[in-house]
Amino acid sequence: MLKVAVPNKGSLSAAASDMLREAGYAQRNDPRELVLQDEANDVEFFFLRPRDIAVYVGSGQLDVGVTGRDLLLDSGAPAEEILPLGFARSTFRYAARPGTATGPQDFAGKRVATSYAGLVAKHLADLGVTAEVIRLDGAVETSVRLGVADAIADVVETGTTLRQAGLEVLGEPILRSEAVLARRTGSAPDPAVDQLVRRIQGVIIARQYVLMDYDVRAELVQQAVAITPGLESPTVSPLHDRGWVAVRAMVKRHETNRVMDELWELGARGILVTGIHACRL
C-alpha cells in the first residue's frame, strides 16, 4: 500500500486534501483522524505536521508527502521535490525596520529571527555573512519590536503582516515557495507513485485550463487556431454548412476572456467555454 503524508494543519492542509479528493482519493472528514486507509486506491494517508513531512519522507518510512518547498529545504532531510502543486504560493524574504539595513550583507554581527533556521543559516553562510540566527516558532514579525532580533526572515504573501509590524522587505526573495509533492532523494521508480503523480497532474491541468468550442468560417481556421493552439493540436470538425468548421481547444483559464474577444473579432461565433472536471494527458 502506498503511504502518503498529508499536512494535518496550517495553510497547506485544506488545499492538499481538496486536491487529493479531486484526484479521486478518500480524505478524512474529522480533523482528529491521523491515519486513513483508502482501500479502493490502495493508499494509506498519514496526517502529519507539515514541518515533519520531509523528515518522514526522507527517512523512507512514507513514500511521498505534500509539504511546502520552503519547509522541505529548511528540513535538510534527504527528500526532493517531484511535482509543484500550484497552491500555498509564497516568497521567503528578509525584512527589517526601514533604514536599518539594505540587504542581508548588513546583518553581520546582528540577530535574525526566523522559523526557518536551517534555510536562513545556509543562505547567510553562502553569502559569507556571520549573524546570529534566532529560531522562533511563529509570529516572527513581532520579534523586532520586542527587541529579540534586528531583522527577520519569513514567509511573505501579501506583505500585510510585515507592514502591520512596521517592517519592510530587503532585496530579492530568498526563495519562491509553493506546495510540492516530495519523495526520498534517489528512491527507485515506483508505478504506484507514478499513478498518484498522474492523477494530481490531471487535477492541476483541469484547474488551469478550460475547453473552448467555437465555429469559424473555414478560410479563417488557420488564424483561429493560432489564437487557440491548444496543448498539442486543436480538433477541427466539419459543420453541415460547408463554409464553416467547429474548433475545440484547451485554453488557459485566466486567458479565457481575452481569447474569446480575439476570436469574436476574427469572426468566430457560438463560442462556448466548459470547465474540465478531470483529465489524463
Ligand X SMILES: O=P(O)(O)OC[C@H]1O[C@H](OP(=O)(O)OP(=O)(O)O)[C@H](O)[C@@H]1O
**Residues at the interface with ligand ATP (CB under 6 A):** 7, 9-12, 50, 68, 70-71, 88, 90, 138, 155, 157, 177
Q: Which residues pair with 155 in a beta bridge?
A: 92
Other Cβ atoms closer than 10 A to 46: 18
Rounded to the nearest whole angstrom, what is the least distance from the CB of residue 134 to Mg ion in the complex? 17
Q: Which stretch binds ligand X (CB under 6 A): 54-62, 123-131, 148-156, 242-250?
A: 148-156
Q: Total binding residues for Mg ion by CB under 5 A?
A: 1
> According to CB under 6 A, which one of 74, 150, 154, 215 is a site residue for ligand X?
154
Residue 142 contacts ligand X per CB under 6 A: no
Which partner from the list ligand X, Mg ion, ligand ATP, none does 159 bind, CB cut-off 5 to 8 Å by kind?
ligand X
Residue 278 contacts ligand X per CB under 6 A: no
Nearer to Mg ion, 138 or 270 (CB): 138
**Beta-strand pair 209-217/269-275:** antiparallel
**Residues 154/135, Cβ–Cβ less than 8 Å:** no
Q: How far is CA 82 from CA 88, 170, 179, 180, 181, in A?
A: 16, 30, 11, 7, 6
Rounded to the nearest whole angstrom, what is the least distance from the CB of residue 85 to Mg ion in the complex? 18
> According to CB under 6 A, which one of 125, 139, 272, 281 is a site residue for ligand X?
139
Q: Which stretch binds Mg ion (CB under 5 A): 74-82, 138-146, 193-201, 225-233?
A: 138-146
Chain residues binding ligand X by CB under 6 A are 138-141, 154-161
